[in-house]
Amino acid sequence: MNNDENKILSDSTETITTSSSTNSRMDNNPILECKNLFKTYANSEALKGIDLTINRGRIVGLLGPNGSGKSTLIKLANGLLTPTSGEILIAGNKPGIETKKIVSYLPERTYLNDWMKVSDMINFFKDFYDNFNPDKAYEMLQKLNINPNDKLKTMSKGTKEKVQLILVMSREADLYLLDEPIAGVDPAARDYILNTIITNYNENATIIISTHLISDIERVLDDVVFISYGKIFLTKSVDEIRETEGKSVDTLFREVFRC
């Protein structure tokens, strides 16, 4: 089932075109490209030769069992780790200062300070990122009934996750890397968040979501990448999987990775 070329192509007839597609900033190079990418930690190989191309304007699920290399790949894309060998490119550039401007990253663990108020963090993000839109952040906070004057310290795990996701999604980025974004969030808020993702993202932006909650996010995904033991196992569109396999991505995942 392994594809020779793990390419996720955005079919030009299917991509949504609106006025913003005439934006001069838009170019057609892939937003993320991995070429024979290896990452080795002290005594384990996390990624063993990843070849992957992800184009603009897609919502992609990065799926794989625990320890398959999902977070490592995301950290490499974000420049938190450097490749052992091979190459990873964001819009044609190696991860660095330039790419951080266009990449919005939600880590697995929170890095925000407990004593800060939500409004402090919004100011913090506003100072830090040119493309951060505070109005959008406040609007989402209101919808999810989060008081901007609350301190992170006083919040539940799920609420903290919501705040962090709101901050990340309020940047007008080209690539969003979301590592386990909705794990601790209740199902109702999950729906709201997914809806926010699909209604707010710019149609030339790409969102990569690593998650185990496949059935929850399946219908917002264009494509899925299955990763297993540091290798790409499959890249396909969700509808292609349903068409050829006659089953959902969730079911396919359970079959492929049965323990």
Partner 1 sequence: MSWNFNDDRPIYVQLMEQIQLRILSGVYKIGDKLPSVRDMASDASVNPNTMQKALTELERTGLVFSQRTSGRFITEDSNMINDIRNNLAKEQIEKFLCSMQKIGYTKQETIKLIENISKEME
Three-class SS string for 192-240?
HHHHHHHHHCCCCCEEEEECCCHHHHHHHCCEEEEEECCEEEEEEEHHH
Closest distance of CB 234 from partner 1, Å: 17
Q: Given the complex with partner 1, which of 5 and 246 has the nearer CB atom? A: 246
* Binds partner 1 (CB under 8 A): choice among 1, 4, 13, 43: 13
State the helix-helix crossing angle for 118-128 and 134-143, rounded to 10 degrees.
Answer: 150
* 255 lies in the site for partner 1, by CB under 8 A: no
75 binds partner 1 (CB under 8 A): no
* Surface-to-core class of residue 117, CB atoms within 10 Å of its CB (0-12 exposed, 13-18 middle, 19+ buried): middle
Shortest distance in whole angstroms from residue 248 CB to partner 1 = 4
Q: Binders of partner 1 among 219-248, rule CB under 8 A? A: 219-222, 238-240, 242-243, 246-248
**Of 189, 209, 173, whose CA–CA distance to 71 is shortest?**
209
Residues 63 and 213: beta-carbon distance below 8 Å: no
**How many residues in the shown chain lie near partner 1 by CB under 8 A?**
27
Q: Closer to partner 1 at the Cβ: 116 or 220?
A: 220
Question: Cβ of residue 241: shortest distance to partner 1, in angstroms?
Answer: 9
Nearest Cα to 121, choosing from 141, 107, 98?
141
How far is Cα 3 from Cα 172, in angstroms, rounded to an integer?
32
Binding characters for partner 1, 163-202, by CB under 8 A (x = yes): ----------------------------x--xx--xx---
> Using CB under 8 A, which of 213, 229, 251, 256 touches partner 1?
251
Cα–Cα distance, 194 to 185 (Å, whole number): 11
And the tokens for 33? 């490209």
Sign of CA dihedral 93, 96, 102, 105: positive
Query: Does residue 59 bind partner 1 (CB under 8 A)?
Result: yes
Whole-number minimum distance, CB 246 to partner 1, in Å? 5
Give the shortest CB-28-to-partner 1 separation in angstroms: 16
Binding site for partner 1 (CB under 8 A): 13-16, 57-59, 191, 194-195, 198-199, 203, 219-222, 238-240, 242-243, 246-248, 250-251
